[in-house]
Amino acid sequence: MSVISDLSLEDFISAEQIARLRRPANEAEGLPGRAYADPAFHELERQKLFPRGWLAIAYESDVAAPGDAVPVSVAGWDFIVTRNRAGEVKVFHNICRHRSMTVLTEPCTKAQTLQCRWHGWTYDLNGRLVATPDLGGVASNEQPGLEKASLGLHEVRSATWMHFVFVNIDGKAEPFGDFIQPVLDRIPDHDLSLTRFSGLTTSAQFDGNWKLAIETGCEDYHLPWVHPQLGGRSEVFKGERGGNTYVSIASRRVMPEYRNTGLPMFPQFSGKVAEDGLSNEIVLFFIVPNAILAVMDDHVVTNIYNPVAHDRTPTRRAFHFIGDAATDEAHRADREKVRDGWISVGEQDFPLVREVQTKHGQRDELGMPTRFSAYWEPAVHHFQNIVVDRLMA
Ligand code: FES
Ligand SMILES: [Fe+2]
C-alpha cells in the first residue's frame, strides 16, 4: 500500500517532545496539542497509524445472515462488510475496479451479488467480478484484454473476535490471534466464550479527537469529580500496558444503577457480591487504536470509536451478558438497567471532552505541555507512547 503524500511524525512533534513523553510518567509531558487539534495530524494518522495493526470497523451482527452487506467508513477508509453464502465475514475496499465508484451505498440483505450503479459491474460476495454488462458493446458483455478474474474487489485482511470485525489495511500486521493474545493472558480466569451479544447497542457522537476517547476512559482519577455515582477512590486501581496491543485499567466500582440485578456473573465470581458495595475487579481494555472491551463481573461492553475527523469520533457500543442471560426475557429489565447506567456515565464525559478538544488547540499555540498522575494515569501515558511508536514504525 502506498500513500499519496509523505507526512511524517517529525513534521508535527520534535525529537525533544518525544523524549519528554518517553520519560517516566511522573516526569513526562504529554503529546502536544496539535496531535488532537490539527487536521493535518489526523491525516498523518489516517495514512500511517490506522492502516497498520488491527482496526475495529463493525460488529458481526451488522451482517448477521449470509447475503447481508453493509458499507462502512472508518477512519477515512471505505469498506464493504459482507457475509458470504458460506457464512464467512468478508471485507472489501468499497471501490469499483472499473472507474472507482462506490460499489455499495446502502445496507442490503439476501444479496447474491453487489452491483455498481455507474456502469453495472457486478461482484459476488467473495469479491469476484462476475458480470460486466455491455462492456464490449450492445449486448456484448466481454472485451478482449480485460480479464475479469484479475478485477475482483480488493479484499481487506479481516478477523472476527468478541463480536468485533477487525481489519488490517496494510496487510502487514501480526496474525490477529497473536495481536489479541495479551488481552486473553491478562484475564486467564474469564471464559469469554460464555458471553453472548444481547442485541442491545447504543451510539453517540464524541465531539473530540479519537485519542481523547481512549484517554478519558483509561483512568479513574476523574471518577469522584465527574462520575460520583461510581464511588470513591478504588484501592485496587491499576493502569497497565499490554505490549503494543492495549492499555488497560483494573478497578472496583460502585454500580448503583445496576447492582444486585441477579444477572449471572463469570463463574469464578460465583455470584459474589462484596460487602463494601463495590464490584468484583473489572478490567477495561483499550485495544489500540479504536476498540474497547470492558470486562465487568456480569457483563462485557464493547466500543468501536470511528475517528472520522480530528475533532469528531462517533462511537458504537454493544452489550454482552453471560450465557442465556443475554437474551432471556426474565433478564430484559436487568440488561436495560446496565445499558442505561453506561449511557449516563458516558454522557457525563461529553461536555468535558468538548472543552478539552478546544483547549488542545489553544495550548498548542501557547506551547503548553500536559502532565500525568503517575498513580492514576499510567495507561494514558502508555497509550500516548504507543501512538508515537506506531507513527514512528
Ligand atoms: S465505476 Fe463501477 S461500473 Fe463503472
Ligand atoms: Fe469518564
The C-alpha angle 93, 125, 319, rounded to 5 degrees, equals: 75
CB 248 within 8 A of CB 285: yes
Mean pLDDT score across all residues of the chain = 95
Q: With a 6 A CB cut-off, is 213 part of the ligand 1 pocket?
A: no
Q: How many residues does this entry show for the chain?
A: 393
Query: What residue type is assigned to position 107 of the chain?
Result: P
Grid-cell match 504507543, residue found: 386
Residues with a beta carbon under 5 angstroms from ion ligand 2: 349
Asked if residue 65 lies in contact with residue 89, where contact means CB atoms within 8 angstroms, the answer is no
Q: Mean pLDDT, to the nearest integer, of 245-262?
A: 85
Residue 99 Cβ < 6 Å to ligand 1: yes
pLDDT digits (tens, 9 = 90+) for 134-144: 999 999 999 99
pTM score of the predicted model: 0.96
Q: Give the residue ranges of DSSP H helices in 155-274.
A: 176-186, 210-217, 223-226
Q: Is the pLDDT of residue 3 over 70?
A: no
For the segment 85-113, the average pLDDT, to the nearest whole number, is 98
> Above 70 in pLDDT, residue 4?
no
Q: Which residues of 32-60 are buried (b: 16+ CB within 10 A; e: fewer)?
A: bbbbbbbeebbbbbbbbbbbbbbbbbbbb
Q: 54 C-alpha to center of ligand 1: Å?
A: 29
C-alpha pair distances (Å), 176 with each of 183, 222, 243, 266, 377: 12, 33, 14, 25, 28
Nearest CA to ligand 1 atom 4: 119
What is the CATH code for 176-392? 3.90.380.10
Q: 248 versus 279: which is more confidently predicted?
A: 248
What is the torsional sign of CA 350, 355, 361, 367?
negative
Rounded CA-CA distance 324/207 in Å is 36
36 Cα–ligand 2 center, Å:
18
- Ligand approaching nearest to the C-alpha of 230: 2
Cα 282 to ligand 2 centroid, rounded to whole Å: 15
Kindly tell me if the per-residue pLDDT of 5 is higher than 70.
Answer: no
Closest listed ligand to the CA of 95: 1
Nearest Cα residue to atom 1 of ligand 1: 99
286-335 per-position pLDDT tens digit? 999 999 999 999 999 999 999 999 999 999 999 999 999 999 999 999 99
User: Which atom of ligand 1 lies at the shortest distance from residue 99's CA?
Assistant: 1
CATH assignment, 55-158 = 2.102.10.10
**Terminal Cα-to-Cα distance of the chain (whole angstroms):** 15
Counting from 1 in the atom list of ligand 1, the atom nearest the Cα of 116 is 2
For the chain, what are the domain ranges? 55-158, 176-392
Say if strands 291-295 and 113-115 run parallel, antiparallel, or are unpaired.
unpaired
* Ligand 1 centroid, distance to 96 Cα (angstroms): 6
